[in-house]
């Protein structure tokens, strides 16, 4: 049975809870992925490595799909990731803090896999949950305030 675009996206994000990312990425992410997140420099392997890093840093990480809207081959997903930091995360030592990251992602599905990905996450709300901003390694220390936008 063929999955709908929203089923592919939901199954991908919720499969993080199974902690078998090699299987997850083979099943749900195209090897030709175009990933616009993080400046567009993350390919299939880089995104998988980032996921592995999350699971290594947050041993009880849980991903929840909060909302989804699908139109054709595109799926917008609002999600949360929560867990206890038990390992180093981007230079931040573990502090056993329970932290939650929320975000909104947009995925384009092609042939039953995520072929294109965009992401916006609340890192400004997430990072202070791990440790005080004064202790952040560079360049994260610059994230204490977002630049103002011209009006």
**Banded model confidence at residue 149, pLDDT cuts 50, 70, 90:** very low
How many domains does the chain divide into?
Answer: 1
> Does 57 map to a domain?
yes
> Does 149 map to a domain?
no
Strands 29-35 and 113-121: what pairing?
parallel
> Does 109 map to a domain?
yes
For 116: left if phi > 0, alpha if psi spans -120 to 50, otherwise beta; the answer is beta
List C-alpha distances in Å: 53 to 2, 47, 59, 106, 121. Answer: 31, 10, 10, 22, 17
> Does 39 map to a domain?
yes
CB distance 109 to 5 below 8 Å = yes
CB distance 13 to 79 below 8 Å = yes
> Does 148 map to a domain?
no
**Banded model confidence at residue 138, pLDDT cuts 50, 70, 90:** low
Describe the strand order of the beta sheet including 62-71 as a list of residue ranges.
Answer: 29-35, 113-121, 98-110, 74-84, 62-71
**pLDDT tens digits, one per residue of 31-87:** 999 999 877 778 899 999 989 999 999 999 999 999 999 999 999 999 999 999 999
CATH at 24: 3.10.450.50
Q: Look up residue 114 and give its two tokens.
A: 């995520």
Q: In which domain, by residue range, is 59 found?
A: 5-141
> Does 65 map to a domain?
yes
Helical axes 21-28 vs 5-14, angle rounded to 10°: 170
> Does 36 map to a domain?
yes
Instruction: Name the more confident of 149 and 112.
Output: 112
Does pLDDT of 118 surpass 50? Answer: yes
> Does 60 map to a domain?
yes
Half-sphere exposure (Cβ direction) of 69: Cα atoms closer than 13 Å = 5
DSSP secondary structure letter of residue 100: E
């Amino acid at each position: 049975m063929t999955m709908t675009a929203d089923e592919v996206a939901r199954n991908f994000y919720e499969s993080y809870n199974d902690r078998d990312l090699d299987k997850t990425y083979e099943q749900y992410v195209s090897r030709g992925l175009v990933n616009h997140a993080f400046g567009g420099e993350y390919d299939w392997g880089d995104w998988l490595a980032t996921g592995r890093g999350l699971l290594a840093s947050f041993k009880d990480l849980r991903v929840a799909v909060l909302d989804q809207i699908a139109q054709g081959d595109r799926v917008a997903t609002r999600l949360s990731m929560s867990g206890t930091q038990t390992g180093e995360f981007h230079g931040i030592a573990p502090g056993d803090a329970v932290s939650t990251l929320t975000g909104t992602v947009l995925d384009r599905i092609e042939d039953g896999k995520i072929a294109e990905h965009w992401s916006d996450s609340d890192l400004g709300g997430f990072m202070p949950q791990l440790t005080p901003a004064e202790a952040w390694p560079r360049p994260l220390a610059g994230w204490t305030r977002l630049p103002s936008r011209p009006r």
